[in-house]
């Protein structure tokens, strides 16, 4: 479930106004919000790697590996590539998962990923040469080169991957009195898991404190962000 961009913007403005710490324009909010979302998103993978090295609780809803994976799940998707082999990966790809070959509704083959150093020996040996039943692919330069090269129809190839978050956008129209009116239709919410709303607001305040050069906002927001991270990982 996404986080409402309007809710975050109003919360940040309310706190700034209450503390008499200035104002954040929609353009500033959109740029800072997109940066904050990317930072939180990219931290998921390091958090997951860290949690995999720590024994997890068997208590329901408290397994941190599962919790982090649930947050990443907001960005897991599947899409056909473009091109006719090598296939071009989607523009919004962040990390590639698996690639499957599905020539018809009843056939499903996972394509094995190989490295440049392996591919020559695999292809030249009769026993290991790739076939449509046992295809392989090389992933380089945002392209997937699939063998056998008879696989050319992108509609039969699917890529499972983690996509990049879309930049947030608090869109608006101008009212009769010159006020900014929230435009729901053209706005883009935070794609992060709803549990990240507090983290988003705190990081927004941290960045806004830097923008308006207010050390008190920076200090308070940085302290809260650090405490949130400690609580999550301890």
The answer to whether residues 207 and 35 touch, using CB atoms and an 8 Å cutoff, is yes
| pLDDT number for residue 233 | 54
Name the least confident of 29-33, 126-130, 146-150, 222-226: 222-226
Query: What average pLDDT score do residues 119-134 get?
Result: 89
Query: By the 8 A CB rule, do 47 and 233 touch?
Result: yes
**Nearest one of 71, 96, 70, 99 to 163, comparing CA atoms:** 96
The rounded percent of the chain whose pLDDT value lies above 90 is 55
In the chain, where are the structural domains located? 5-74+168-233, 77-163
Look at residue 77 and tell me whether its pLDDT is greater than 90: yes
Confidence of residue 220 (pLDDT cuts 50, 70, 90): low
pLDDT at position 215: 59
CA dist., res. 135 & res. 101, Å (int): 8
**For position 19, what pLDDT does the model report?**
60
Query: What is the overall mean pLDDT for the chain?
Result: 86
CB contact at 8 A, 216 and 29? no
Q: Which residues contact 52 (CB under 8 A, 6 or more apart)?
A: 65
For residue 95, what are the contacts with CB-CB under 8 A and spacing of at least 6?
Answer: 45, 161, 162
Q: How many whole angstroms separate alpha carbon 73 and alpha carbon 71? A: 5
Which of 89-93, 184-188, 202-206 bottoms out in mean pLDDT, i.e. has the lowest? 202-206
Residue 164: the pLDDT is 96
Q: Looking at the predicted structure, is the pLDDT value of residue 63 above 90?
A: no
What's the Cα-to-Cα distance from 205 to each of 38, 62, 145, 156, 223, rounded to whole Å?
A: 16, 29, 45, 47, 11
* Interatomic CA distance for residues 67 and 195, integer angstroms: 10
Distance, CA of 208 to CA of 136 (rounded, Å): 48
Contacting residues for 55 by C-beta, under 8 A, at least 6 apart: none
Q: Measured on CA atoms in the order 6, 8, 14, 20, is the torsion positive or negative?
A: negative
123-149 as b/e: b if 16+ CB within 10 A = eeeeeeebeeeebbbbbeeebbebbee
Asked if pLDDT for residue 214 goes beyond 60, the answer is no
Q: What is the tens place of the pLDDT at every residue in 21-38?
A: 668 899 999 999 999 999
- How confident is the model over 139-177, as pLDDT tens digits? 999 999 999 999 999 999 999 999 999 999 999 999 899
Residue 210 has pLDDT above 60, yes or no: no
- At 148 the pLDDT is 93
* Listed residue (48, 83, 101) closest to 91, CA to CA: 83
With 60 as the cut, is the pLDDT of residue 234 above it? no
């Amino acid at each position: 479930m996404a986080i409402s961009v309007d809710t975050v913007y109003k919360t940040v403005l309310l706190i700034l106004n209450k503390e008499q710490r200035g104002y954040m324009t929609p353009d500033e909010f959109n740029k800072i919000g997109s940066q904050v979302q990317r930072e939180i998103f990219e931290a998921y993978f390091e958090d997951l790697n860290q949690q995999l090295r720590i024994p997890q609780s068997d208590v329901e809803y408290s397994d941190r590996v599962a919790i982090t994976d649930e947050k990443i799940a907001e960005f897991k998707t599947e899409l056909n590539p473009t091109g006719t082999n090598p296939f071009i990966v989607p523009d919004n790809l962040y990390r590639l998962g698996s690639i499957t070959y599905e020539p018809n509704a009843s056939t499903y083959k996972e394509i094995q990923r190989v490295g440049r150093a392996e591919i020559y020996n695999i292809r030249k040996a009769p026993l290991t040469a790739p076939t449509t039943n046992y295809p392989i692919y090389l992933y380089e330069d945002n392209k997937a080169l699939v063998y056998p090269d008879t696989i050319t129809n992108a509609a039969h190839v699917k890529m499972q991957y983690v996509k990049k978050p879309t930049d947030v956008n608090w869109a608006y129209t101008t009212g009769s009195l010159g006020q900014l009116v929230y435009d729901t239709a053209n706005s883009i919410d935070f794609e992060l898991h709803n549990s990240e709303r507090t983290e988003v607001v705190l990081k927004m305040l941290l960045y806004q404190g830097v923008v308006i050069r207010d050390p008190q906002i920076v200090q308070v927001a940085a302290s809260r962000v650090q405490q949130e991270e400690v609580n999550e990982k301890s």
